[in-house]
Structure 1
Amino acid sequence: MKAIIQRVTQASVTVGEQQISSIGRGLCVLLGISTEDTQKDVDYMVRKILSLRVFEDEAGRPWAKSVVDRELEVLCVSQFTLQCVLKGNKPDFHRAMPAEHAQPFYSAMLERMREAYTPERIKDGQFGAYMQVHIQNDGPVTIELDSPSAPSDPKQLAKQEKQQQRKEKTRTKGASEAAREKAASRARQDPSASSGAEGDVSSERDP
């Protein structure tokens, strides 16, 4: 799981013309869920997000207090594009958890966060909707966070991308072989069938 955490003076989510969530000072968290994520990742991310010390204390010392310490709000927005892998210049999202599984997973994570903090201080966007997310970054302060199972090492990411490309080539090759086998099967069943240039050349040679 990947999160982009921003310290904000205010943030809101609008769907169409309707504002569905808003917070004052606190954290805006963009969450990207991968196909590899488990409850272990949820527990890690919830603990880190709520414990991250990005706020000043009463004496004005920076990096001293968490959102919980300051009793501030958190706005979470599901964002599958954080699991993007580039193929040339085209984004590929095969690492993102499919929506039918990601929605209950994401809802369970929000519930876990509410249990660990104050429920009314955890706000949400609208899963799967086309949202306008308005963020007023405070600082600016932006922190990228990966759960333990997330492949953050560049070599590991490159390895996974190559594995995915090999899988795609194998599927393409398999489809081509299946098409050739199907064509050969039709030819065996109907020897008089002619297709392509070879048949035309053969016809010209016959008296």
Structure 2
Amino acid sequence: MLALLQRVSEAAVVVDGETVGAIGRGLLVFVCAERGDTEAEGRLILDKLAKCRIFYDDAGKMNRSLLDVAGGLLIVSQFTLAADTRSGTRPSFTRAAPSDEGRRLYDALVADTRARYADRLAAIETGRFGADMAVRLVNDGPVTIWLHQPPVTHVPTPRPT
């Protein structure tokens, strides 16, 4: 799974002239499910983005997470993150999960986010999967972070203590 985090002072998604999601200070996150991804990759991406220390502390250092600042989170699906541009000038999107699988994984990520963090964040908003979206943002910093969580192939079994 791929995610592109942007620290924002505000962000909104507009579809057909209607604002479908908007936040103030927080993170705008573009996500893309790749072929072979499962909910496990979504959970790992969610853990990383919620705890990524990219907000300033009182000393002016990037030392606080989205959870620490109780910011907003705007999650937008974007299959083009999986673009392969190694050959020619037309990107290939074969690494992206098929639309129905991508939607299922996106919906699972959003549901997991709401279940785990609704009481700790100012807002959890989304774009609209598969729609032609206009994304408006004020990038704060700018701070933009790329996260890639390859498919989980083996989860170690905990040893008894």
2 CA distance for matches of 1:6 and 1:131?
17
Q: Which runs of 5+ in 1 are unaligned?
A: 151-207
Larger Rg computed on CA atoms: 1
Residue 34 of structure 2 aligns to a residue whose secondary structure is: coil
1 CA distance for matches of 2:39 and 2:30?
18
Residue 91 of structure 1 aligns to a residue whose secondary structure is: coil
Task: Give the TM-score, by structure 2 length.
Answer: 0.88
1 CA distance for matches of 2:112 and 2:20?
21
**For residue 72 of structure 1, what is the aligned residue in structure 2?**
71
Give the aligned CA root-mean-square deviation in angstroms: 1.4
Higher relative contact order (CA 8 A, sep 6+): 2
Q: Report the CA distance shift for 1:118/1:60 in structure 2 as closer, same or farther (over 3 A).
A: farther
Larger mean CA deviation between 109-118 and 44-53 belongs to 109-118
The structure richer in strand per residue is 2
> 1:97-132 CA distances to partner (integer Å, 9 max, x unpaired)?
111111111101111111221167211000000000
AA in 1 matched with 2:116 = A
Q: How does 1:20-59 map to 2 (within 5 A)?
A: 20-57=20-57, 59=58
2 CA distance for matches of 1:15 and 1:67?
26
AA in 1 matched with 2:71 = L
AA in 2 matched with 1:55 = F
> 1:2-22 CA distances to partner (integer Å, 9 max, x unpaired)?
111000000000012111111
1 CA distance for matches of 2:101 and 2:33?
10
Residue-pair matches, total: 149
Q: How does 1:97-108 map to 2 (within 5 A)?
A: 97-108=97-108
AA in 2 matched with 1:25 = R
The structure richer in helix per residue is 1
2 CA distance for matches of 1:88 and 1:105?
30
Task: Give the TM-score, by structure 1 length.
Answer: 0.69
Q: Which runs of 5+ in 2 are unaligned?
A: 153-161
